[in-house]
Structure formats: C-alpha cells, structure tokens
C-alpha cells in the first residue's frame, strides 16, 4: 500500500464532490465522460474514477492506461469490454450488464462499447491521476511513411484512410460518421461472459 501524506486536520480537506461538475469530454447530451481524481477531491488515496454515459454503438475509443489498471462497473444498460492480453496476444471480450464488472490490467490495449441505449459505466482506477494513450493519436501522429514501410502498405491509401482523424476522438464514432456501427465481436475472437467464471485526471481527456 502506498504511503499518503495527507494532513487530515487541514481545514482545506474535501470529503465529497459532485462528479457532474467535472465534465472531461462530451460528444453530445447522451455521450459524456465525467471524472473524479485528487484534483477534485484532495483526500483521495490512490484511486480515481470516470463516470461514463453512452448510447448504443458508441465507443470509448481504443486506448492504453500506462500507469493504472481499470475496473469497469456497469451501472445500467449493457456494454462490451474488449482488451488484448499482450502476454499471449489473446483478444478478450467481456459482455457486462448492470451489476457486473470487467477488469483491465495496467497497460492493456482496450475499449468499451455500449450495446444498448442509456448505458452507464463507472471506470475505477488504482491511481489518482490515470494517464491515457489514445488510438486516434497513434494513428494520426505516426508518420505515414513509417506505417507504409513497416507494414508494406500503400502510403497514399493509408493517408486517405486516416484522413478523417483530425483530433483525439475519445468517444466514437464522430457525429458525422456515415458508416454502419457494429458492436459484436468477430468469431475469431475469444469471448468471456462476466456471469461465468474466467481466469485471468486528468487532463488526458481534454486534448485538442
């Protein structure tokens, strides 16, 4: 357990907070992420959370938390939580509904997608200031020449494919997306269900 040096006799101590007052990202009125960390509640230990509201087919885009594990709790609705285990390259899909959880270890590439309307998730972290590396940033900021030469693909085609990504996405797809939304995992991916036994702030969300 980490040692915390908090003066609990201080008159500046905070013991409660309205998470709705700290909107980290808002796509529209139905897709919002609120956050709570030590900046909002100064007596917090090594913990923080995101309060996530999603409509069906909306994603918290693929990303990594390089300094924290994430426990996803479903308050209402249903969601698919997917991550890649980097130790065996296995894709894990966990379908959760109200009262169920999915655990994402630190550094695992992952995403969440709502599979029903009015989905509400809590993402709980074992760090007061969880960091994130977003897939949209990796795609748009990696020089296209490096991608083309590394993977033997046409550079022009790659640049065209990623041209719509002009900023960090966070909640996707963008409002102007015309593609159909698919939320079911492919048959090649291994799927776990959270009601079965199975083994094994912020400013990152305010990027331009």
* Long-range Cβ pairs for the range 204-207 (8 Å, 24+): 204/130, 204/131, 204/132, 204/134, 205/24, 205/25, 205/33, 205/35, 205/50, 205/132, 205/170, 206/24, 206/25, 207/134, 207/137, 207/167, 207/168, 207/170
Beta bridge partners of 157: none
Spatial contact of 79 and 115, defined as CB atoms under 8 Å apart = yes
Tell whether pTM > 0.75: yes
* Contact present, 93 and 81 (Cβ < 8 Å): yes
pLDDT in tens, the chain (208 residues): 455 778 889 999 999 999 999 999 999 999 999 999 999 999 999 999 999 999 999 999 999 999 999 999 999 999 999 999 999 999 999 999 999 999 999 999 999 999 999 999 999 999 999 999 999 999 999 999 999 999 999 999 999 999 999 999 999 998 878 765 555 554 444 554 443 332 324 444 334 3
């Amino acid at each position: 357990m980490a040692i915390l040096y908090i003066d609990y006799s201080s008159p500046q101590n905070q013991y409660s907070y309205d998470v709705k007052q700290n909107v980290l990202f808002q796509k529209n009125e139905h897709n919002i992420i609120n956050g709570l960390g030590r900046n909002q509640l100064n007596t917090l230990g090594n913990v923080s959370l995101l309060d996530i509201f999603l409509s069906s087919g909306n994603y918290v885009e693929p990303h990594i938390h390089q300094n924290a594990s994430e426990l996803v709790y479903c308050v209402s609705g249903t969601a698919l939580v997917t991550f890649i285990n980097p130790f065996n390259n296995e894709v894990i899909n966990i379908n959760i509904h109200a009262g169920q959880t999915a655990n994402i270890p630190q550094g695992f590439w992952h995403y969440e997608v709502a599979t029903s309307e009015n989905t509400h998730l809590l993402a709980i972290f074992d760090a007061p200031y969880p960091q994130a590396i977003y897939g949209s940033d990796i795609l748009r900021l990696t020089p296209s020449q490096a991608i083309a030469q590394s993977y033997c693909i046409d550079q022009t085609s790659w640049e065209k494919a990623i041209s719509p990504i002009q900023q960090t996405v966070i909640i996707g797809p963008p409002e102007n997306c015309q593609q159909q939304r698919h939320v079911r995992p492919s048959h090649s991916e291994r799927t776990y269900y959270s009601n079965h036994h199975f083994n094994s702030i912020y400013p990152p969300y305010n990027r331009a």
